[in-house]
Amino acid sequence: MGKVAEIDHIDPLELAIADLIAGIQDSNGMYVHAPEPFYGRLLAALPSKYTKKSDEGTAYDIPTAAVAIRNNGIELIINRDFFENLGREARLAIIKHEAQHIAHRHLFRGAEANGENPKIQNIAMDAVINQFNPAIQELKKPAKDGGKFEPVEWDKIPDATADMSYRGYYELIEKDSEEEGGGGSGEGEGGEGDGDGMGKYGDVIDDHSHFGKVFDESNPDVVEDRLKDTIQKAARGLNPGTMPGEIQKILDDIAAESKIPWQQLLRTWMKTSIKSIRKTHILRESLSVAGVFPGYKRQPRPEFHVYADMSGSVSDSDAVSFFSEILYIQKAMKATVSLHQFDTEIHSTQVIEKNIPHIVRDGYGGTNFQCCADHARENKIKNFIIMTDGYAPSVDLTGLNVLWAFTEHHQDHGGKSVVIESKE
């Protein structure tokens, strides 16, 4: 394998984020690290800063790297001296590590508020994310200044199994610590803390002391809501079927956290996206101008367009759940619904106005959302719903107001969405 080139004329943090998005190749064009655009896009959407000499003794006094809640957002903080002494691959590993803390929303987990041991919490958090970041082991290699870390490894925790939850790792470490009579209360940042026995699991590389804390007037609930939207946007465009399980679980957790039934979310979106139908009524005589003119008024009947994915991967149960709710809303709102069934093309269009129709399924092929976008633009349809499992290439929906109605098992495409609960 060829050597990875060092690039000195680009800001090291900007280069590391670019490496996450595009990957790192050696001189032979072989990937040393495959592209991970989700984490790169997530970091690129957030502000970042290097620590300065004047930051010593302040909340910005970070020995390695950290993420914090500031100005109603999330900020990435990097100690430039530490960062520049790392190789290109190790820098990528560090910023992916920070992005994982963000995506797993560890920033909103405070040890004191949850009655947890901060030292155990730190190790458990790193165990959760380091199992998905093998590049973090690059930090085992000596840095230019001779420094060295031994990152936390999940398999050093007794009885641990791969892909456990944070709570699972925490409880195992707590049990092991109690059996040994340990369980120190220190923060344990930057690889410190071997004296209380925690170091045997590996070193916590970055500064977790900001987790669960707010240093200004920021509202953590607002920040977390914005983060959820940023996470969904970062996942947009990932190739169907290739999304890592870690990322899919993060997206599924966000979708599952909504306490509002999907039916209510769907109705709310439809009410706010109403397009009333304007019709010409009977001729009437004008009272101010001689002659007879057509009378106009806005008919109080909302109009909606729905594109239903009838490809082979969408089950009959999912389709029935969705169609049932659409028909219920159509009747309650006295709406006109244009139902377009598609897979790789639009197969049929059924206009539903008054009577409950008999819907016959058309499709069962592959899936391509381009036909929906093209049909909407050609017919000047701005607001519409796409019911789908999402397993198809993403499509440019610029200028269109779209609500994704996803089946329970789906590929997320970002943007506004609801998840249909199957009747099975």
State the Cα–Cα distance between residues 167 and 164, nearest whole angstrom: 8
Asked if 323 and 220 sit in the same domain, the reply is no
Q: Name the band, by pLDDT with cuts 50, 70 and 90, for residue 142.
A: low
**Are 210 and 128 within one domain?**
yes
One domain, residues 213 and 272: no
Do residue 222 and residue 326 come from a single domain? no
Examine the domain organization and report whether 143 and 17 are in the same domain. yes
Name which residue leads in pLDDT, 28 or 8. Answer: 28
The verdict on 203 and 70 lying in the same domain is yes
Residue 202 sits in the same domain as residue 321? no
The total of other beta-carbon atoms located within 10 Å of residue 282's CB is 6
> Is residue 401 located within the same domain as residue 272?
yes
Average the pLDDT over each of 93-97, 147-151, 302-306, 400-404 and give the range with the smallest value.
147-151
Which structure tokens are listed for 41? 């896009």
Largest CA distance in the chain: 99
Examine the pLDDT at 76 and tell me if it is beyond 90.
yes
Q: What is the pLDDT of residues 179-203, one digit of tens each?
A: 776 544 444 444 444 445 677 898 8
The residues facing 336 across adjacent strands are 303
Residue 1's contacts (CB-CB under 8 Å, 6 or more residues apart) are: 26, 28, 30, 32
How many angstroms separate the CA atoms of 388 and 410, rounded? Answer: 8
**DSSP sequence for 38-98:** HHHHHHHTS-EEE--GGGTTSTT--SSEEEEEETTEEEEEE-HHHHHTS-HHHHHHHHHHH
Q: Are residues 161 and 230 in the same domain?
A: yes
322 belongs to a structural domain:
yes
pLDDT digits (tens, 9 = 90+) for 30-61: 888 889 999 999 999 999 999 887 888 887 88
Same domain, 202 and 262: no
Q: How many domains does the chain have?
A: 2
Order of strands, edge to edge, in the sheet holding 73-78? Answer: 48-50, 73-78, 65-70
Report the percentage of the chain scoring pLDDT > 70. Answer: 79
pLDDT tens digit sequence for 277-303: 444 444 455 455 555 455 555 455 678
Establish if 88 belongs to a structural domain.
yes
Encode pLDDT of 356-395 as tens digits. 667 777 777 889 999 999 999 999 998 899 988 888 888 8
d(CA 402, CA 418): 11
Mean pLDDT of the chain, nearest integer? 80
Please check whether residues 164 and 307 belong to one and the same domain: no
Q: What are the structure tokens assigned to 26, written together?
A: 């050696």
Question: Which is higher by pLDDT, 183 or 269?
Answer: 269
Within 10 A of 357 (CB to CB), how many other CB atoms are there?
Answer: 15
Other beta carbons less than 10 A from residue 348's beta carbon: 15
Q: What is the pLDDT of residues 94-124, one digit of tens each?
A: 999 999 999 999 999 876 667 889 899 999 9
Look up the domain containing 387 and give its range.
258-279+296-419
Strands 48-50 and 73-78: parallel
Residue 343: give its domain's CATH number.
3.40.50
Mean pLDDT of all residues in 262-275:
70
Return phi, psi of residue 297, to 5°: -150, 160
Supply the pTM of this predicted model: 0.61
Q: In sequence order, which residues have a C-beta less than 8 Å from that of residue 380 and are 6 or more positions away?
A: none
Q: Residue 365 region, left (φ>0) first, then alpha (ψ -120 to 50), else beta?
A: beta
Asked if residue 175 and residue 95 are part of one domain, the reply reads yes
Nearby residues of 43 by Cβ (< 8 Å), 6 or more positions away: 17, 20, 76, 95, 98, 99, 102
Residue 33 CB neighbours (<10 A): 20
